[in-house]
Amino acid sequence: MRRISVLFPASSLLIASVALSGCVGTLVDVATAPVKVVSKGVDLATTSQSERDEKRGREIRQREERLGKLERRYEDRMEDCQDGDRRACAEARDIYAEMQLLIRSLPVEPER
């Protein structure tokens, strides 16, 4: 009968340790959940420097593309204007004004 009493505490400790390991894992998950939620919220709320740089580069490229289109239209209108089309002259002036506004918004590249 003594054998049973010695085996009983050992087996109950083994079962308890297996059962508690799941509880400890759950406690760790519960304890770290608020930290994970807050850090995820901060990540979503803030913009990294690389994201800002990418956005700025994209905006500059779009302005440069727009400027290229305007330059081509301006050249076409100037040709028509030189052929005597007064409406083309007015359009060329409007396009030129828009080009000047757009040029001011582009960064100046350093000379090499």
DSSP per-residue codes, 34-52: HHHHHHHHHHHHS--HHHH
Between 53 and 36, the higher pLDDT residue: 53
Tell me which residue range forms the domain holding 68: 49-106
Between 8 and 48, the higher pLDDT residue: 48
Domain count, the chain: 2
The band of 7, judged by pLDDT with boundaries at 50, 70 and 90, is low
Are 3 and 34 contained in the same domain?
A: yes
Are 58 and 36 contained in the same domain?
A: no
Are 40 and 59 contained in the same domain?
A: no
- Per the CB < 8 A criterion, the answer to whether 91 and 79 are in contact is no
Q: Which residues contact 60 (CB under 8 A, 6 or more apart)?
A: 106, 107
Between 47 and 94, the higher pLDDT residue: 94
Are 9 and 56 contained in the same domain?
A: no
Q: For 62-109, write each residue's pLDDT tens digit.
A: 999 999 999 999 999 999 999 999 999 999 999 999 999 999 988 887
For the entire predicted model, the pTM comes to 0.55
The b-or-e profile of 73-83 (16+ CB within 10 A means b, else e) is bbeebbebbee
> Considering 46, 62, 83, which residue would you say is the last residue of a domain?
46
Are 19 and 37 contained in the same domain?
A: yes
Q: Which two tokens stand for residue 18?
A: 């297996």
Are 42 and 59 contained in the same domain?
A: no
Backbone angles phi, psi at 37, to 5 degrees: -65, -45
Measure the CA–CA gap between 40 and 27, rounded to whole angstroms: 20
Per-residue confidence (pLDDT) for residue 107, from 0 to 100 = 86
The band of 51, judged by pLDDT with boundaries at 50, 70 and 90, is confident
Are 30 and 41 contained in the same domain?
A: yes
